[in-house]
Amino acid sequence: MLAEELARGDVHHDDLKNCLVTVTEVRSSPDLRHATVFTGIFGASEHKMRLVLNALNELAPQIQGTLGRKLAIKFTPRLHFKLDESLEEADHINRLLHSDKVKRDLEREKKDAADKEAMEAKMTGES
């Protein structure tokens, strides 16, 4: 429901323009009074991401109020927006895996395995 509120564009702030904000995870406190909302912000520099995060936290009471009117729960959790750093880490790992150095290493491993297999086949064939 939170992601729908953000996607619908009912939340307005200049710093939220021209970027895609996604909700990747929500963690509630044991008493359900607080919820940490992990977000991914795509198409933005690190500086812009911080501006967007600040804007979301500034708008959190408004978003909380909207959710409170739609949810049938006693208390609506106070929202705290944080940047989901796992997305950035996953992107970094993906870039590493597709780097030229890794491609060379994988090709070398593949060649070494083929050479070893050929050598073993030759040795078993000579026995």
For 18-79, give the DSSP string. Answer: T-EEEEEEEEE-TTSSEEEEEEEEES--HHHHHHHHHHHHHHHHHHHHHHHHHS-SSSPPEE
Same domain, 76 and 111: no
What is the tally of structural domains in the chain? Answer: 2
Query: pLDDT for 102-127, tens place per residue?
Result: 788 888 888 888 888 888 888 887 65
15 and 61 both lie in a single domain: yes
Residue 85: per-residue pLDDT: 83
Residue numbers of the domain that contains 29: 1-83
Q: How far apart are CA 90 and CA 26, in angstroms?
A: 19
The answer to whether residues 54 and 91 belong to one domain is no
Q: Is the pLDDT of residue 36 over 90?
A: yes
pLDDT in tens, 58-98: 999 999 988 888 888 888 999 999 998 886 777 778 888 88
Strand order in the sheet with 34-42: 20-28, 34-42, 78-83
Task: Please tell me whether residues 60 and 107 are part of one structural domain.
Answer: no
Which 3 state secondary structure label does DSSP give 84? Answer: coil
Query: Is pTM, for the whole model, over 0.75?
Result: no
